[in-house]
Amino acid sequence: MPHAALNRLLVVATLAVLSAAQAADPPKQGSFGKGKAGGPLLTRAELRECMARQQRVRAQSDETVKAQAELDKEKTEVNQLGAALKEKLAALDRTDADAVAAYNQQAQAFDQRVDAYNALTPAFNAKVDALKAEREGFAKACENRRFDEKDEIAIKNGK
């Protein structure tokens, strides 16, 4: 067999082996959610944005849970102060000017605390709305979308 024909045969055989190896070992895929089989893969840029969005959702969720716990704690304390103030009013000697002045001062401080609590609520609601919007954006763009795990590794390695 001539030398050129042998080289071509080796090249064809090598390509056939490589093609078979690639066909037998498809790229590993991950997904956000269950991932739809047969749907298009996320590009690396889309995957990068989805990963960033997922991190934002997690961070905002953590912040919201923490803020909710703080609000709940403050609400409990305000309710307890309100109940204590109500008991003091029931037992208040209205003929004692000093006792009435002390009660009025406590009631005013309580009202200020209630106002401060009420002022926190719109900011918390804005955080909840922002979290909801970020979750919806993630769901629309990323959830149940597949991606190549090599792209995920590359992104995590800063590429």
pLDDT tens-digit map of 131-146: 999 999 998 888 878 8
pLDDT of residue 136: 93
E strand residue ranges, 33-134: none
Q: Looking at the predicted structure, is the pLDDT value of residue 25 above 60?
A: no
* Helix-strand-coil split of the chain, %, nearest 5: 75, 5, 15
pTM for the structure as a whole = 0.66
Which residues have CB under 8 Å from 76's CB, separation 6+? none
Separation CA 117–CA 53 (nearest Å) = 31
pLDDT score, position 11: 41
